[in-house]
């Protein structure tokens, strides 16, 4: 579903490979930042960490025989690449880290880049639905419960409900995006090796307070490919002052903070090798998003049926056998994703039951379903935007359908009006009898009620016509729509700017 979309570019094999390289390079830059690696190592590893220099397929093949994960062969290849640039720098590749540090951090980078795209699409989808809700605030159509006509509602309220779900999904994903953490724990989550490296750091050299970082998810260095610039390249070393932040002078905590900053990810409270809250939160938010979009798609699929046609996709899909058809292809694809992502999330939740300090199998089980859930949700978000921006609404068909039951969808309205005078039981029985009579002879509810002496004594023809007018029984639908439209998408905490919507940069 994501093929051809921007989300494919940030979840494909090359994207994951680049994210792993970003994680490796970010670690060396972080070590330079805190004064335990030389500037030349940060330059050499950052310059070498380009996906085009590595063979993703070869890494995958070799991973099966090299410890079961692609980081192990990648470290070997990256080390050789760095050696060609700076032999002394090669020893700093992957220093102190474990494979899970790199792959977990890389998948968080992939998730961050994907969520930035998804949340932009969701904001655009919400904007389109907001326009529908405002335009059709008073457009009446049958409300349907358990597949049957119930009472009148408005297409504005239905659209506002879709928008509310989309904003719920947006806000959840945005919250998860802001909290996506870097992973750094070393072999068993104690950061012990980094203490040794800090103790062995040569002389009084200390890293600059501000190292090379672009402050955005992924740590792709903003400096040229041949190495860091700015403070990191100035040769000026000064000790960072860490006070009142819970880190004190602990070299492991200091490095973990610097690493998170280099990657543009959150700093976790603890290494989370077997504490999979970030993955579970991400899985839940993706499943919610797919389901929210699936609700929109489900309604469009029903309302665009041939015998209903209250809405239609702007340009439907064709059929290989029936040239007359214009299938709701976009809603179909979204509905497909909505059924798949929760199952993928279930695998990710299942992986939380991970043994020891680093698990065998539970962590490995996450890689495919996480990437597939990101792809499917990203594709669904893009498709939902196209669907909602191009959705065609047919108010005339909605009005026609209000009369299909001869006014009986106003039975509740009439019963409520008669109850204070006739009593609830008598009023309900009278309206039920009139409804059955109207359905049997096609006379309509108003005419059937007029033949009931008790009702006729209370209501003349004009009053019955008013009580069976769908537009007169909308309750709070307009007010609910207005209230829902006052809601705006959440913004990222901590001042991180929300990325522009795709194509927004070129719009006036």
The residues annotated as belonging to the active site are: 319, 358
Q: Which two tokens stand for residue 285?
A: 């938010």
Three-state secondary structure call for residue 133? helix
C-alpha to C-alpha distance for 1 and 386, rounded to whole angstroms: 14
Return all residues near 4 (Cβ < 8 A) that are at least 6 apart.
Answer: none
Cα 186 from chain centre: 30
Q: Give the strand pairing for 148-154 and 140-145.
A: antiparallel
In DSSP notation, 417-467 reads: HHHHHH-HHHHHHHHHHHHHHHHHH---HHHHHHTSHHHHTT--HHHHHHH
C-alpha to C-alpha distance for 446 and 466, rounded to whole angstroms: 9
Burial class (CB within 10 angstroms; exposed 0-12, middle 13-18, buried 19+) of 256 = buried
Under a CB-based contact definition with an 8 Å cutoff, are residues 357 and 188 in contact?
yes
In DSSP notation, 339-386 reads: HHHHHHHHHHHHTT---SSS-SSTTGGGHHHHHHHHHHHHHHHHHHHH
Three-state secondary structure call for residue 4? coil
Three-state secondary structure call for residue 197? helix
CA distances from 507 to 36, 186, 381, 384, 503 (A): 46, 46, 20, 20, 7
Q: Which two tokens stand for residue 67?
A: 């410890």
Of 133, 56, 140, 105, nearest to 410 by C-alpha is 140
Of 409, 273, 407, 239, nearest to 351 by C-alpha is 273
């Amino acid at each position: 579903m994501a093929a051809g979309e921007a989300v494919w570019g940030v979840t494909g094999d090359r994207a994951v490979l680049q994210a792993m390289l970003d994680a490796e390079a970010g670690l060396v830059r972080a070590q330079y930042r805190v004064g335990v690696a030389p500037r030349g190592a940060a330059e050499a590893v950052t310059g070498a960490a380009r996906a085009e220099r590595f063979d993703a397929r070869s890494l995958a093949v070799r991973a099966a025989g090299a410890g079961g994960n692609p980081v192990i062969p990648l470290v070997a290849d990256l080390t050789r690449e760095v050696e060609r640039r700076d032999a002394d720098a090669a020893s700093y590749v992957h220093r102190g880290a474990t494979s899970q540090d790199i792959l977990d951090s890389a998948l968080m980078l992939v998730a961050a880049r994907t969520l930035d795209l998804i949340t932009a699409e969701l904001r655009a989808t919400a904007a389109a639905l907001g326009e529908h809700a405002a335009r059709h605030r008073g457009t009446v159509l049958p409300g349907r419960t358990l597949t049957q006509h119930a009472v009148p509602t408005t297409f504005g309220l239905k659209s506002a409900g879709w928008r509310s779900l989309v904003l719920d999904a947006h806000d959840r994903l945005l919250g998860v995006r802001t909290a996506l953490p870097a992973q750094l724990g070393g072999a068993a989550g104690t950061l012990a090796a980094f203490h040794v490296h800090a103790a062995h750091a040569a002389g009084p050299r200390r890293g600059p307070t501000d190292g090379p970082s672009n402050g955005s998810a992924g740590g792709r260095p903003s400096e040229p490919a041949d190495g860091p610039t700015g403070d990191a390249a100035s040769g000026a070393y000064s000790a960072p002052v860490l006070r009142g932040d819970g880190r004190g002078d602990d070299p492991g905590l200091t490095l973990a903070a610097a690493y998170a900053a280099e990657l543009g990810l959150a700093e976790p409270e603890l290494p989370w090798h077997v504490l999979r809250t970030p993955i579970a939160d991400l899985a839940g938010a993706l499943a919610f998003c797919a389901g929210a979009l699936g609700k929109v798609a489900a309604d469009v699929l029903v309302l665009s049926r041939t015998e209903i046609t209250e809405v239609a996709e702007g340009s439907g899909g064709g059929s290989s056998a029936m040239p007359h058809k214009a299938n709701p292809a976009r809603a179909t694809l979204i509905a497909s994703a909505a059924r798949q992502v929760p199952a993928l999330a279930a695998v990710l939740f299942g992986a939380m039951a991970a043994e020891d300090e680093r698990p065998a199998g539970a962590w490995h089980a996450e890689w495919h379903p996480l990437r597939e859930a990101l792809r499917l949700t990203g594709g669904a978000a893009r498709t939902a935007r196209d669907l909602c921006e191009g959705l065609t609404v047919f108010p005339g068909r909605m009005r026609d359908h209000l009369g299909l039951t001869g006014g009986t969808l106003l039975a509740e309205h009439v019963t409520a009006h008669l109850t204070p005078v006739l009593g609830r039981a008598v009023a309900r029985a009278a309206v039920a009898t009139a409804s059955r009579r109207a359905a049997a002879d096609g006379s309509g509810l108003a005419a059937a009620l007029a033949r009931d002496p008790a009702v006729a004594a209370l209501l003349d023809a004009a009053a019955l016509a008013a009580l069976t007018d769908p537009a007169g029984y909308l309750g709070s639908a307009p007010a609910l729509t207005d209230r829902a439209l006052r809601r705006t998408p959440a913004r990222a905490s901590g001042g991180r700017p929300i990325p522009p919507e795709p194509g927004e940069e070129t719009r006036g």
